[in-house]
DNA sequence: TTGTTGAGTGTTTGGTCACTCACCTAGCGA
DNA sequence: TCGCTAGGTGAGTGACCAAACACTCAACAA
């Protein structure tokens, strides 16, 4: 199947394959997704994925890095949109921007799968790196106290749990209790 | 291998196989663990696992139920040990008991893996059931407000994140910030 | 024209996994 | 002694997957 389109170089291909990996790994997780799945999503052959990335783990790490890039960008944009410059107002604006970002669930699911796959040392390291970027940026940009930032992250994790288990659509009292005040995940 | 020991009945075997499943699934997660792994851990043949449980998913669900049984029991015991009967003191005692329970990490890891495997509907349902038991019990036993219980669960999730990424042994400031005040996870 | 290199693919391979089935054995009632 | 039932297993089977291999094709330089 020859094509008349200009071929992209490997450097340009890598990020689009990483984006395809985000979507696919978000669905199946690390062990539940095959490299062929990602290749199909990116419309290239499985073999070429192994030329762009040395192995499956590196592919997942690239996806996770892309995920945290988008999270950081959302937090930055959200903070810029805050009308008040107080720590709480900035953190609140960040939380809202994050809630909007994960509306499609891919970035959220990938983070959950990454926690599950953290037995792989390179994945645990990528997870720590991303978390470090989020915590550091949230702290410095908002000027909030340690307790406030800690609470910000804790409720982010709760938000993940609510989305994964579908608690926002569970009418029982205990579920309403957990989801109360959490921005429409 | 003939044995001189008394054979247990299938009903008695099921919970010990479920306990073996907890340990094994905690290490490899749902997709990363084979039924043969669990069979080896339980010292029976893989074929017999399929006689005790209809499939791999049912085996994982049984493990998760066993996990939440232990969590509930720990919370109950912790609450009974509280010296003050105020909501905050009871929740605090429950948190301490939970921190002690997950010292070996198996029950913690299984919950994280369950979140990752919640794409499987039966696993998502088992996760919701367990969460419902925890939230309902914590609410009723402590008499705490919705906000207090919500915060209790949120910080439990943060505790999981800290343990998984090994933040308690990370000396950098952002990690110390996140782990501050969290009971030695 | 010829040689070389990098992009990209089809196919194979070696191995693993979920699940099945025929079979064996121990006990027990008649 | 003869079944009968229930616990338990060895030996597969078909499907799938990560990774490697063996190639084709386009572009370019001498």
Q: What is the CATH number of the domain that holds A154?
A: 1.10.357
Whether B150 contacts B160, CB under 8 Å = no
B2 belongs to a structural domain: no
State how far residue B56 is from chain A, nearest Cα, in angstroms.
Answer: 14
Residue B88 belongs to domain with CATH number: 1.10.357.10
Distance CA B152, CA B163 (A): 17
The residue range of the domain holding B162 is 10-179
Strand C proximal residues, A:49-68, Cβ < 7 Å: 51
Region A38-50: mean pLDDT is 90
Distance C16 C1' – A32 CA (angstroms) = 14
Domains of chain A: total: 1
Distance CA A18, CA A65 (A): 9
Residues of chain B contacting residue A146, judged by C-beta atoms under 8 Å apart: 177, 180
CA-based nearest residue to A160, from A112, A88, A118: A112
Helices (H) and strands (E) in chain B, counts: 9, 0
Average pLDDT score, chain A:
91
Q: How confident is the model at residue A12, as a pLDDT? A: 82
What the block records as the tokens of B125 is 């349902």
> Each residue of A96-154: pLDDT tens digit?
999 999 998 999 999 999 999 999 999 999 999 999 999 999 999 999 999 999 999 99
B184 belongs to a structural domain: no
Strand C positions with any atom < 7 Å from protein CB? Answer: 6-11, 16-22, 25-27
What the block records as the tokens of A54 is 């040395």
> Which helix (DSSP H) or strand (DSSP E) does residue B74 occupy?
helix B56-81
CA-based nearest residue to B28, from B87, B88, B98, B112: B112
Q: How confident is the model at residue B11, as a pLDDT? A: 82
State the residue for tokens 């790994």: A25
* Contact with chain B for residue A32, Cβ under 8 A: yes
Q: How confident is the model at residue A8 (pLDDT cuts 50, 70, 90)?
A: low
Q: How confident is the model at residue B8, as a pLDDT? A: 61
Residues in chain B: 185
pLDDT of A2 higher than 90: no
User: Hey, what's the torsion of the CAs at A106, A111, A113, A117, to 10 degrees?
Assistant: 150
* Packing angle, helices B121-142 and B146-165, rounded to 10: 130
Residues 6+ apart with CB under 8 A from B69: none
Q: Which long-range contacts (CB under 8 A, 24 or more apart) does A102-105 make?
A: A102/A159, A102/A163, A102/A185, A105/A26, A105/A163
State the residue for tokens 């509907």: B121
B91 belongs to a structural domain: yes
Distance CA A26, CA A33 (A): 9
Local confidence pLDDT in tens for the 185 residues of chain B? 333 344 467 888 899 999 999 999 999 999 999 999 999 999 999 999 999 999 999 999 999 999 999 999 999 999 999 989 999 999 999 999 999 999 989 999 999 999 999 999 999 999 999 999 999 999 999 999 999 999 999 999 999 999 999 999 999 999 999 999 898 75
B3 belongs to a structural domain: no
Greater confidence (B4 vs A86) lies with: A86
CA closest to D8 C1', residue: B48
Q: How confident is the model at residue A110, as a pLDDT? A: 96
Whether B40 contacts B50, CB under 8 Å = no
CA-based nearest residue to A94, from A111, A110, A112, A71: A71
B185 belongs to a structural domain: no
pLDDT of A41 higher than 50: yes
Region A72-77: mean pLDDT is 98
Smallest Cβ distance to A161: which of B113, B115, B180? Answer: B115
A48 belongs to a structural domain: no
Distance CA A84, CA A132 (A): 25
A41 belongs to a structural domain: no
């Amino acid at each position: 199947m020859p094509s008349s389109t200009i071929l992209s170089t490997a450097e340009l291909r890598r990020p689009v394959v990483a984006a395809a990996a985000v979507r696919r790994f978000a669905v199946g997780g690390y062990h539940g997704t095959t490299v062929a799945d990602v290749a199909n999503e990116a419309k290239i052959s499985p073999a070429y994925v192994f030329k762009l990335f040395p192995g499956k783990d590196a592919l997942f790490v690239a996806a996770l890095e892309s995920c945290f890039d988008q999270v950081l960008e959302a937090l930055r944009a959200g903070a810029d949109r805050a009308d008040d410059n107080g720590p709480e107002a900035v953190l609140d604006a960040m939380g809202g921007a994050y809630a909007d970002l994960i509306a499609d669930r891919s970035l959220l699911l990938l983070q959950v799968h990454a926690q599950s796959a953290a037995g792989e040392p390179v994945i645990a390291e990528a997870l720590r790196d991303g978390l470090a970027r989020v915590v550091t940026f949230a702290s410095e940009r908002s000027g909030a106290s340690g307790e406030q930032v800690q609470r910000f992250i804790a409720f982010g994790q709760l938000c993940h749990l609510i989305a994964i288990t579908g608690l926002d659509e569970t009418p029982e009292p205990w579920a309403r209790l957990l989801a109360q005040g959490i921005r429409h995940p």
